[in-house]
Amino acid sequence: MLEVNLKSRAVTQTSKAYNSACRFGSLLLGATAEGLFKLTGQTDNDHQINAFCKTLTTDLALTNPKRLRHLVLSYKSTEKLLIEAFIDDESIGVYEAPAHPSTITRIRVKLGQGAKGTHLAFKFANINGGSFIIYSATLFFEVLENFTTKEGL
């Protein structure tokens, strides 16, 4: 189950198979066949919470192939942040962004030198149970010509 902390905008996936969740006053509750559980704290049964979010796979409304240049990311994180880029459902690399817990930071991430494809996605993940907030992610890319050939020409 995914949990979203609306105050910090943190997204996490729990190891427990909750079938529903709700906010009751100031409590966040998760329900399973075994009963109700209060969702609190910085850990999941004393284990660090591994959090990630992944964008939808998109062609950016352009059917032509694209060559990725770089990603400009505005974020805050209590630990290092991992950024994984995908082209046509294949990972082209994992990049590490430094921790910046108290200020919104903007960095430029160089992406897969020469990597090209049609459909793109990104995954952002924490390290050591750290929390993170993504404020914006701006992708810079080059649209390539889409050459098609007909047999016999």
Extract the residue ranges of the chain whose pLDDT is less than 70: 1-16, 44, 146-153
Number of Cβ atoms within 10 Å of the Cβ of 17: 10
Amino acid 78: pLDDT: 93
| 86, 147 contact by CB (below 8 A) | no
pTM, 2 dp: 0.72
d(CA 112, CA 140): 12
